[in-house]
Amino acid sequence: VPPSAEALPDPNRRADFIFGLDGHHILADAKYKVDATSLEASDGDQMFAYSHTATVPGSSQLTDAGVVFYPQRRDMLRQDQARTRDVLVRATDPRYELRLLDLPIPSPTDVATDAAWRGYLVSLAGGIRQELAALNVPDQHLVTSTAC
């Protein structure tokens, strides 16, 4: 029985971000579920579909890997920075790694001044870069430009 039109994915639905990192294109989606402990089935299905369909803007190249960002209260984190919660790998070729990444919610101190906010963002970006540096992305997808 063919699926109903209601069950088909929305062709206008897009991932939240696609960015370049160390020559790879990373698909990123933010989930606004504070203190979520696992990837929900619907979110997993969504990211699986994106891994097969999301292309780098201005090209037909698929993304190399994915990440899901989850906000977490600082008391739920072991450290006061981004950390990888889990790594999932698509079972079919080509290899596609999906990281679930917890991000600290800014504290009142982090947003008290422009300087504090900039400091929070710089620290957050550094933590994300450090966590994603461990991505296992096939070299055949390496690109020469990180601009997306």
Closest CA to 135 of 90, 87, 83: 87
Most confident of 31-35, 49-53, 118-122, 128-132: 118-122
What pLDDT sits at residue 142?
44
Q: What would the two tokens of residue 54 be? A: 């999301």
* pLDDT confidence band for 147 (50 / 70 / 90): very low
CA 125 to chain centre: 13
Is the bond into 94 cis (omega within 30 degrees of 0)? yes
* Helices and strands per DSSP (H, E), number in the chain: 2, 5
Of 97, 66, 68, the residue nearest 82 (C-alpha): 68
pLDDT, mean of residues 110-136: 90
Q: Write the pLDDT tens digit of every residue in 40-86.
A: 888 888 888 888 888 888 888 889 999 998 888 776 665 556 778 88
Helix (H) or strand (E) holding 65: strand 65-72
Could you give the CA distance from residue 129 to residue 131 in angstroms, rounded to a whole number? Answer: 6
**pTM, entire model:** 0.75
